[in-house]
């Protein structure tokens, strides 16, 4: 049986099922509910990739809190460009607040590092937590990046689905797929 799929010019095979993903998302949401009760955290979903993860995560958040969105871009095709662009920034103040950055994946770490710096140093957030669906520790190109909440760690392979794209395609796939070598 061949369950491979085609996205643009590449072939991908099934990697993580929706069920597997959701179990981990619920585990992380419960941990956040416990850790941040009484802090009225502001969740910041990093667009575009994290929108599906953020929706599932936030439906499992039961403590008083808010959610907002920021849009960043660093990838073209399957490679990070190393330059992180803010396409759309925040409209609300984070001064003195507990914020939770909700990101699909940490790869080189450039996007996350730049977001933490902005929120802490320039925008004055009191406590910046990092919540990611996937972590690729072997792809890291920045030092000292702390991930507070992580659903799954994966090897350094390119993936699509569940919000993640290849050249903007494939975000609608319910499961996650990995590129064929
Ligand atoms: P970083 O700045 O290199 O850590 O990259 C983070 C961003 O690159 C993520 O927010 C994703 O949008 C994108 N990205 C990294 N790895 C993948 C992947 O395997 N598939 C799809 N997008 C990815
Ligand atoms: Mg992203």
Residues catalogued as catalytic: 107
Ligand nearest to the CA of 164: 1
Contacts of 168 (CB under 8 A, 6+ apart): none
Strands (E) in the chain, as ranges, are 5-7, 10-16, 42-47, 66-76, 79-88, 98-106, 127-135, 149-153, 159-160, 176-179
Report d(CA 58, CA 137) in Å as an integer. Answer: 25
- What Rg value do the Cα atoms of the chain yield, rounded? 16
Instruction: State yes or no: cis peptide before 48, omega within 30 of 0.
Output: yes
pLDDT at 75: 61
Residues linked to residue 98 through DSSP beta bridges, in sequence order: 127
pLDDT in tens, 47-78: 999 999 999 999 999 999 999 999 877 766 66
The number of the ligand nearest the C-alpha atom of 162 reads 1
Quick check: CB of 125 below 6 Å from ligand 1? Answer: no
Is 0.85 topped by the overall pTM? yes
Atom of ligand 1 at shortest range from CA of 114: 2
């Amino acid at each position: 049986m061949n369950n491979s799929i085609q996205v643009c010019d590449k072939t991908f095979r099934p990697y993580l099922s929706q069920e597997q993903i959701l179990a981990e998302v619920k585990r992380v949401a419960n941990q956040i509910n416990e850790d941040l009760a009484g802090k009225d955290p502001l969740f910041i979903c990093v667009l575009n990739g994290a929108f599906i993860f953020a929706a599932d995560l936030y439906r499992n958040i039961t403590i008083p809190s808010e959610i907002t969105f920021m849009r960043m871009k660093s990838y073209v095709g399957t490679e990070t460009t190393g330059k992180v662009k803010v396409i759309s920034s925040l409209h609300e103040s984070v001064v003195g607040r507990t914020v939770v950055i909700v990101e699909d994946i940490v790869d080189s770490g450039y996007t996350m590092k730049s977001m933490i710096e902005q929120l802490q140093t320039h925008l004055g957030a009191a406590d910046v937590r990092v919540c990611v669906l996937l972590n690729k520790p072997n792809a890291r190109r920045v030092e000292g990046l702390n991930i507070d909440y992580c659903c799954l760690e994966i090897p350094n392979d390119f993936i699509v689905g569940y919000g993640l794209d290849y050249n903007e395609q494939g975000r609608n796939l319910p499961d996650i797929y990995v590129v064929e070598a």
